[in-house]
């Protein structure tokens, strides 16, 4: 059997910066194809919808939440078939490319733990001030919703401007995701990756800024690298999500 096609991480980065991303026909597909949807799902960071029950769950710290603590496990969990998702578009080619991108500091994950069990989470790619959500998974009630809420809070603190969901789904729509045409998406992407008013490149957002904060405040700027902080709680996340409802 011929080996799977290998995807160069730099090719992946250039593709995302151009508004396209890779998918595979199924888990065992030997290759990939490139996708540029006519309609793109995005989640405005100030438009995240957290229901009262979700806020209560987050504030209770029912689940333990980590970031980049088990990236390989999350991408493997996302690639598994389940009763609600019998097919997967994450094949070995994509998985290996994102493992390398994680090692390079571009790909990140949010993990949701139920005791010692990995109960859900998500992963994606950070580039400039854009975050491209790749896949999310839930193996416990509302685990993926909790992961998305923590991601939104993390992106707000880190100075991100765009959360790309790729495709709109009913699940994402309940949390504030909207669908926009390709031209509008291209403008948002260009803004998140482009130049500032002085004509210089925009500074990259900081995915780890939340880990360096103490007391959180909605809309606060990213924390300086030398900030010393304590652990972030679910109540901090609810506070950071602020007026979203």
Q: In the 8-state DSSP scheme, what is residue 81?
A: -
pLDDT at site 35: 96
3-class SS at 132?
A: strand
Is residue 111 within a helix (H) or strand (E), and if so which, with residue range? strand 107-114
Within 10 Å of residue 88's Cβ, how many Cβ atoms? 20
Q: Give pLDDT, residue 88.
A: 81
pLDDT at 205: 85
Q: How many Å separate Cα 105 from the centre of its chain? A: 14
Whole-model pTM?
0.88
Distances (CA, A) of 35 to 4, 43, 167, 186: 19, 19, 11, 14
Task: Give me the average pLDDT of each 10-residue run along the chain (245 residues).
Answer: 71 96 91 95 94 95 96 94 72 95 96 96 96 95 96 95 94 93 96 64 79 51 44 90 61
Confidence at residue 226, expressed as pLDDT on a 0 to 100 scale? 40
């Amino acid at each position: 059997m011929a080996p799977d096609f290998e995807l160069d991480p730099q090719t992946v980065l250039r593709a995302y910066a151009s508004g396209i991303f890779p998918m595979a026909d199924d888990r065992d597909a030997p290759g990939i194809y490139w996708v540029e949807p006519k309609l793109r799902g995005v989640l405005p960071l100030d438009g995240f919808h957290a229901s009262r029950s979700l806020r209560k769950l987050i504030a209770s710290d029912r689940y333990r939440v980590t970031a980049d603590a088990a990236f390989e496990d999350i991408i493997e969990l996302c690639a598994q078939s389940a009763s609600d998702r019998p097919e997967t578009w994450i094949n070995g080619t994509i998985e290996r490319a994102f493992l390398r991108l994680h090692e390079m500091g571009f790909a990140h994950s949010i993990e949701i733990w139920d005791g010692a069990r990995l109960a859900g989470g998500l992963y994606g790619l950070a580039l400039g001030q854009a975050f491209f959500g790749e896949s999310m998974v839930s193996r416990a009630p509302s685990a993926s919703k909790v992961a998305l809420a923590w991601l939104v809070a993390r992106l707000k603190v880190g100075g991100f401007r765009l959360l790309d969901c790729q495709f709109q789904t009913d699940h994402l729509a309940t949390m504030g995701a909207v669908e926009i045409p390709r031209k509008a998406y291209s403008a948002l992407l260009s803004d998140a990756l482009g130049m500032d008013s002085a004509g210089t490149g925009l500074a990259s957002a900081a995915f780890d800024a939340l880990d360096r904060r103490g007391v959180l405040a909605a809309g606060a700027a990213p924390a300086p690298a030398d900030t010393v902080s304590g652990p972030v709680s679910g109540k901090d996340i609810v506070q950071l999500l602020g007026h979203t409802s």
